[in-house]
Amino acid sequence: MTTTFAYLGPEGTFTEEAAILYDSSITRVAEPSIVRVGAAVVEDPHTKGIIPIENSLEGPVTYSQDLLINNPTLLIEGEVVLPINHYLITKPSTSLEEIESIYSHPQSLGQCKNYLQAHFPEVEQIASLSNATAVTTMLAAASPCAAIGPKRTAEIYNGKIVDSKIQDQDNNETRFIILGHSDHAPTGNDKTSICISFKEDRPGSLYEVLGVFAAQSINLTKIESRPTKEVLGRYHFLIDCIGHRQDEILKNCFIAIEPIVDNLTIFGSYPKYESLQ
Amino acid sequence: MTTTFAYLGPEGTFTEEAAILYDSSITRVAEPSIVRVGAAVVEDPHTKGIIPIENSLEGPVTYSQDLLINNPTLLIEGEVVLPINHYLITKPSTSLEEIESIYSHPQSLGQCKNYLQAHFPEVEQIASLSNATAVTTMLAAASPCAAIGPKRTAEIYNGKIVDSKIQDQDNNETRFIILGHSDHAPTGNDKTSICISFKEDRPGSLYEVLGVFAAQSINLTKIESRPTKEVLGRYHFLIDCIGHRQDEILKNCFIAIEPIVDNLTIFGSYPKYESLQ
């Protein structure tokens, strides 16, 4: 059986670009949502998945965090970081002055807020479910409009690139995680992602847990909270730390944390992404 | 000059409901975005604002967090918590079987995920910029469709309520904050919202800050991280704690925190919301 790679589609999304960057040799299958990428992996032992988990400007992708929290069998086997560049795309026949509306995913509209305010203050902004959908919707629309999307989508669907790198800040990158049925063997340069929750809403508990890591000088690269969906103000904490879960030092940390937390889930250990540039 | 209340519109949004709950006597003015609510307050000393800050299922409203981070002159003078109930709304003439698409804000589509999967697995979901827009777009559409939105919007625009409280979980509430030019005088039952950031990406610093609060037995009701937008993996931390910034104990905490952090911003002290029910 050959392995397939389920990604957040449609074709032309940043996630597809990230999949190619991670391993272009695996056959890619577009899925319509993050939840469906997760389901594709859960249902088939030969399927891996790739989804965005965090953007440098917008923060965490909450659907992806919830997917991990709700599916303890999904493990993270890798990560990849992609620079995100946004392009203004129109039909080949559209001129800039006549643009009446601009389509994009709300997150991308947000990332190009200043550009849109400066160049298209009066133009209606329309939300799309993905950047790639924004481009195809724009191309199919009767009225003159534009879309904000990735270069790859413009190329695939023959859109005209009118302006490039229109995002407000240059340091726009997205981190993607690769989902599989097992995590990665130790490489000596690894990260581990975990999720903890507490029985009671007692912020002192988080302080105790951070103390366990601090005592062992384990560097944490991320702490995020996600609502438990039980009551306003109660959270899961998603923590990334340096090291592999098979390392003695991390094993001991987890043992020390167990009595403090209500639940500890290890999402996986995997090689820390190093940019090839 | 009478005071006006800028809220995240259009008319019929949950934010308008929250504005009415907070103080129905103030003249309300709908604004098209969270950023524009903030600008309305900044530009006019007689304008207050109200925006959503946190939902029990979906987590923080990142646009609102960024608004506070980017506008240090905006202060929080109050909060209000609203139970969120979603309604399935159609045109009066539409029957359930013919629905081809369902409009709503992506967050609301997310909150009704299981309901949609169970009742409309094959129906296309279309993102709208607000729940109220979803209802007006649906009512204006040529094809048979539905929208997920608040009861108030259905009533204002004469939509037909087909199903009620369709959200996946009952404990769906949103916390809104009231923005003004000053915060609130001490009442004896207050909360204070602050934002801290660190010079270096050193998670041990957060541990030190939490230790200052723990040593004074100050209860923290929320810790959230937001990307600083400088580099992936560096964060602002938004903390809510019990007490008023004029309390001696909190003043001393802030003095103890100063040398640890790069920046400490106080968003305001205000009465803790108590449900009237």
What are the extents of the domains in chain A?
4-83+172-180, 87-164, 190-271
Q: Tell me the per-residue pLDDT of A118-129, one tens digit each, with 9 for 90 and over.
A: 999 889 998 887
User: Phi, psi (5° rounding) for residue A270?
Assistant: -160, 160
Residues of B in contact with A223 (CB under 8 A): 203, 206, 225, 235
CATH number of A87-164: 3.40.190.10
Name the nearest CA neighbour of A47 among A80, A6, A76.
A6
CA distances to A152, B68, B182, B238, B273 from B266, in Å: 43, 10, 11, 10, 19
User: Phi, psi (5° rounding) for residue A168?
Assistant: -65, -30
Place of tokens 């929080």: B76
CA distances to A230, B8, B54, B60, B211 from B218, in Å: 24, 33, 22, 22, 10
Residues of B in contact with A175 (CB under 8 A): 232
Print pLDDT tens along chain B (277 aa).
Answer: 689 999 998 888 899 999 999 999 999 999 988 999 999 999 999 999 999 999 887 788 888 999 999 999 999 999 999 999 999 999 999 999 999 999 998 878 888 988 998 999 889 888 887 788 899 999 999 999 999 999 989 999 999 999 999 998 888 899 999 999 999 999 999 999 999 998 776 667 888 999 999 888 898 888 888 888 877 778 899 999 999 999 999 999 999 999 999 999 999 999 999 865 4
Q: Residue B74: its pLDDT value, please?
A: 97
Residues of B in contact with A57 (CB under 8 A): 227, 229
Task: Give this prediction's pTM.
Answer: 0.80
CATH number of B4-83+172-180: 3.40.190.10
Q: Tell me the per-residue pLDDT of B14-54, one tens digit each, with 9 for 90 and over.
A: 999 999 999 999 999 999 889 999 999 999 999 999 999 99
Tell if the CB–CB gap between A214 and B204 is shorter than 8 Å.
yes
Tell if the CB–CB gap between B56 and A113 is shorter than 8 Å.
no
Closest-CA residue in chain A for B58?
A227
Residues of B in contact with A142 (CB under 8 A): none
Tell if the CB–CB gap between A210 and B214 is shorter than 8 Å.
no
Tell if the CB–CB gap between A227 and B175 is shorter than 8 Å.
no
Query: Which of B101, B221, B229 to mutate against chain A (most A CBs within 10 Å)?
Result: B229
Give the CA dihedral B236, B242, B245, B248, nearest 10 degrees: -130
Q: Residue B201: its pLDDT value, please?
A: 61
ipTM of the complex: 0.72
Fold: same for A87-164 and A190-271: no
pLDDT, mean of residues A34-45: 95
Comparing CB atoms, the residue among B56, B106, B203 nearest residue A231 is B56
Residues of B in contact with A117 (CB under 8 A): none
Name the CATH superfamily, with its identifier, for domain A190-271. Answer: ACT domain (3.30.70.260)
Residue A277 pLDDT greater than 60, yes or no:
no
pLDDT interval class at A202 (50, 70, 90):
low
- Restricting to A residues 112-171, those with a Cβ less than 8 Å away from any Cβ of B are 113, 125-129, 169, 171
Measured between CA atoms, how close is A275 to chain B, in angstroms? 13
Question: Sheet of B160-164: strands edge to edge?
Answer: B124-127, B101-104, B145-149, B87-90, B160-164
Q: Determine contact, residues B195/B68, Cβ cutoff 8 Å.
A: yes
A216–B contact, CB cutoff 8 A: no
Residues of B in contact with A210 (CB under 8 A): 203, 206-207, 210
